[in-house]
């Protein structure tokens, strides 16, 4: 296994932490209370950059479980890069410290909208539907939802990507949230065409986005009155499978979905680090549009 990606990730994360941590510490409530209780706040042997690097590299390692990854790979051949590596149980307790730094780091990796975007949501189940009544970890957070394939219990990940497969915006909601609800927030500041499926059909949503400079393009449901649609829009609708490829890469390659979580905080760490690993992957699904194609899109959207 090559270590180049590990070194690359660590250099990016370490440069980020050098600027982020001093500013973050000044905002913590604990820094405003010098007499606060400091028990059980011992400093770990790993820096925040090392904790973030380990969690991100897991999604690149192809291991199916984090425990095997940590005890076989990190405690084995890669231990030379982390001399202060603690035990597995200790590291699991440290992972939750990386939630907010990972979220901020991810914001700097998001792509740029060039006039064409794709929007869709994917489910993140936390247990099998037959185990909903006995599930405890996400009982107060996860909700029942329904898709074209049936009921599920968990969350939804809403994504907006561009034609190069880069993530432009994302939102994490419970499983019972309507796909149309987070769209205005996700597309804030965007321009051009946004391609979605039938789940985003709404005259009110279309009008709201149109006023902001975004044209929402979707297919019509069966039985609805047909509307004139340009040839280019029909062609773009056929390419909507691009975002499905991104979902497949996130779930099966980066492993953002599994049923082994024992903590909501570690669930968020797994999700954010998986998104970061995908953003760093140079081989993203892409439409491979030429520059003159993008000029045509901008002209049609104007």
* Domains, the chain: 4-31+42-107 (no CATH), 116-261+285-301 (3.30.420)
CA distances for 178 relative to 157, 181, 286, angstroms: 12, 6, 27
Per-residue pLDDT, 155: 95
Average pLDDT on 113-119 reads 89
Per-residue pLDDT, 224: 59
| 257 within 8 A of 251, measured Cβ to Cβ | yes
| 135 within 8 A of 96, measured Cβ to Cβ | no
| pLDDT bucket at 288, cuts 50 / 70 / 90 | confident
pLDDT at 45 over 60: yes
Reduced to 3 states (helix: H, G, I; strand: E, B; else coil), residue 197 is coil
Per-residue pLDDT, 180: 93
CA angle 282, 284, 285 (to 5 degrees): 155
Q: Euclidean distance between the first and final Cα of the chain, in Å?
A: 48
| Token pair 């009008």 in the structure block, residue | 207
Per-residue pLDDT, 302: 53
pTM recorded for the entire structure: 0.89
**Distance between CA atoms of residues 65 and 58, nearest Å:** 9
pLDDT at 35 over 60: no
Average pLDDT on 82-101 reads 92
Per-residue pLDDT, 211: 92
Average pLDDT on 215-242 reads 78
pLDDT at 40 over 70: no
Average pLDDT on 137-145 reads 91
Average pLDDT, the chain: 87
**Distance between CA atoms of residues 185 and 188, nearest Å:** 5
**Distance between CA atoms of residues 15 and 21, nearest Å:** 10
Q: State how far Cα 284 lies from the chain centre.
A: 14
| pLDDT bucket at 208, cuts 50 / 70 / 90 | very high
Per-residue pLDDT, 115: 84
Reduced to 3 states (helix: H, G, I; strand: E, B; else coil), residue 132 is coil
pLDDT at 227 over 70: no
| pLDDT bucket at 289, cuts 50 / 70 / 90 | confident
The more confidently predicted of residues 237 and 34 is: 237
Q: How many residues does the chain have?
A: 302
Lowest mean pLDDT among 26-30, 143-147, 244-248: 26-30
Q: What is the pLDDT of residues 63-89, one digit of tens each?
A: 989 999 999 999 988 999 998 899 999
Per-residue pLDDT, 230: 76
Average pLDDT on 180-206 reads 91
| pLDDT bucket at 2, cuts 50 / 70 / 90 | low
> Which pairing describes strands 116-125 and 192-195: parallel, antiparallel, or unpaired?
parallel
The more confidently predicted of residues 4 and 44 is: 4
Per-residue pLDDT, 183: 94
């Amino acid at each position: 296994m090559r270590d180049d990606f590990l070194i690359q990730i660590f250099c990016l994360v370490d440069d980020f932490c050098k600027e982020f941590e001093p500013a973050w510490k000044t905002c913590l409530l604990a820094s405003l209370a010098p007499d606060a209780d400091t028990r059980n706040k011992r400093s770990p042997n790993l820096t925040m950059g090392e904790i973030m690097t380990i969690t991100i590299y897991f999604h690149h390692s192809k291991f199916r479980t984090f425990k095997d990854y940590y005890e076989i790979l990190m405690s084995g051949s890669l231990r030379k890069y982390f001399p202060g590596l603690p035990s597995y149980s200790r590291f699991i307790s440290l992972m939750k410290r990386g939630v907010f730094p990972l979220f901020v780091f991810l914001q700097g990796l998001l792509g740029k909208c060039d006039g064409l975007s794709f929007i869709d949501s994917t489910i993140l189940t936390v247990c099998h539907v037959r185990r909903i009544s006995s599930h405890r970890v996400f009982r107060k957070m996860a909700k029942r939802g329904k898709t074209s394939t049936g009921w599920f219990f968990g969350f939804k990940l809403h994504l907006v990507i561009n034609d190069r497969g880069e993530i432009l915006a994302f939102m994490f909601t419970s499983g019972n949230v309507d796909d149309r609800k987070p769209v205005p927030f996700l597309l804030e500041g965007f321009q051009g065409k946004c391609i979605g499926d039938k789940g985003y059909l709404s005259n009110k949503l279309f009008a709201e986005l149109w006023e902001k400079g975004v044209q929402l393009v979707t297919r019509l449901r069966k039985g609805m009155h047909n509307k004139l649609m340009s040839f280019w829009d029909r062609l773009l609708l056929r390419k909507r499978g691009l975002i499905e490829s991104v979902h497949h890469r996130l779930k099966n390659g980066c492993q953002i979905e599994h049923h082994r979580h024992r903590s909501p905080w570690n669930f968020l760490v797994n999700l954010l680090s998986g998104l970061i690993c995908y953003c760093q992957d140079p081989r993203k699904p892409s439409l491979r549009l030429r520059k003159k194609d993008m000029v045509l899109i901008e002209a049609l959207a104007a």
